[in-house]
Amino acid sequence: MKKHLWILLIGAPAFAIFLAAIKVYYSIAISNYQGEPRIFEVRSGESFSKINGRLSSEELISSAKLFYRYCKTKGLMTKFKAGRYKIETGSTMLDVIEILTIGKSITTSVTIPEGKNLFEVAEILEKAGICSKDDFITVAKDPKFAKALKVPSDRLEGYLYPDTYGLTEGMPAKDVARTMVSNLRKQISSLDFKDAPNGLNLHEVIILASIVEKETGARVERPIISGVYHNRLTRKMRLYSDPTTIYGIWETWNGNLRKKHLQEKTAYNTYRMGGLPAGPIANPGLAAIKATLNPQKHNYTYFVSKNDGTHVFTESYKEHLKAVDYWQKNRANRKGKSWRQLNEKKK
């Protein structure tokens, strides 16, 4: 009798534990989500409790309490990555945990073209549904954030590397900007800025590269344009760059550059000031940066657009005026021309 009692006293709890273990295993590894495939977003900075609560309320997991205990035991509570993830029909709790901790988030491909400024980048991002235009502009113009990213400027202009990115819809503007700045550093890591022409430092190279980028859409012309500006710097000439003037008035500019704008004194108007403007005026690509570091050596100090994306280069102001008369004042030479007519060989 006593023997049977001991078996009962020991066996019953053990059997109960065994059943509980089976129930836990079933809930974690077998029981699965039966609804339609769903997109679940882990928000940046979101706490585990909120993630757990939303998973439970959306019935993507069978037990919030069990989910919590399992993740705590396995040290996974801080391993959830911000992003948008697809939870497939039939996903178990273990599957959900794996998807949200080591899975790849759903991204949107966004291309930032070379030569776009921070305001234009913000518009592209908003149109793609990544983040709001205003949020991105605020972040990109924040001196404290620029300092935190070790950008030697009071804004991120010039350091938002133009490229194609896989970004998450609803991604915080700071995360987007941080990704772009990090990409720039990666792209220029193999370049030598120590012996840049005219003694320019890295930031000054980025400034001049942004001007070179804005002045021509033809890849083959970048080293020539770079040479023009380096010649002007060497000779203590003003840069006389329309794009720098435009950038200085960008937020109030209506798209029509007038003489009064060229006479307006801003930190970016190189018609009114000597040397480089206060900072980059756009975000240059690698080709423009390389061209700035390795300008073509020549004696040109002037250039005028041929209205198709290419330019005529001249050494003297007298030659420049002739080129202006021919290419800009002659309507026949302006009619129907566009930089888009450039063939691939010129790009």
Question: Is residue 231 a part of any domain in this protein?
Answer: yes
Question: Is residue 12 a part of any domain in this protein?
Answer: no
CB atoms within 10 A of CB 240: 16
Helix, strand or coil for residue 152?
A: coil
pTM to 2 decimals?
Answer: 0.78
> Can you give the residue range of the structural domain that contains 172?
108-188
Structure tokens at 215: 């002045």
Contact 160, 118 (CB under 8 A): yes
Residue found under tokens 């291309």: 111
What is the rounded distance in angstroms from the CA atom of residue 334 to the CA atom of residue 327?
A: 7
Q: Answer yes or no: do 222 and 153 share one domain.
A: no
Q: Answer yes or no: do 268 and 323 share one domain.
A: yes
Q: Answer yes or no: do 281 and 166 share one domain.
A: no
Structure tokens at 135: 């949020």
What is the rounded distance in angstroms from the CA atom of residue 31 to the CA atom of residue 10?
A: 30
Question: Is residue 253 a part of any domain in this protein?
Answer: yes
Question: Is residue 4 a part of any domain in this protein?
Answer: no
Q: What is the CATH number of the domain that holds 57?
A: 3.30.1490.480
Q: Would strands 164-167 and 108-111 be described as parallel, antiparallel, or unpaired? A: antiparallel
What is the rounded distance in angstroms from the CA atom of residue 1 to the CA atom of residue 310?
A: 104
Q: Which of 102, 136, 156 is the last residue of a domain?
A: 102
Q: Answer yes or no: do 282 and 158 share one domain.
A: no
Would you write out the chain's pLDDT as a tens digit for each of its 347 residues?
Answer: 544 545 545 554 554 444 444 555 445 655 678 889 988 988 878 899 999 999 999 999 888 988 898 899 889 999 998 888 999 998 888 889 899 999 888 889 999 999 999 999 999 999 999 999 999 999 999 999 999 999 999 999 999 999 999 998 888 999 999 999 999 999 999 999 999 999 999 999 999 999 999 998 888 999 999 999 999 999 999 999 989 998 988 887 776 777 777 777 889 999 999 999 999 999 999 999 999 999 999 999 999 988 888 899 999 999 999 998 888 877 776 664 544 444 444 43
Question: Is residue 88 a part of any domain in this protein?
Answer: yes
What is the rounded distance in angstroms from the CA atom of residue 234 to the CA atom of residue 198?
A: 7
What is the rounded distance in angstroms from the CA atom of residue 77 to the CA atom of residue 72?
A: 6
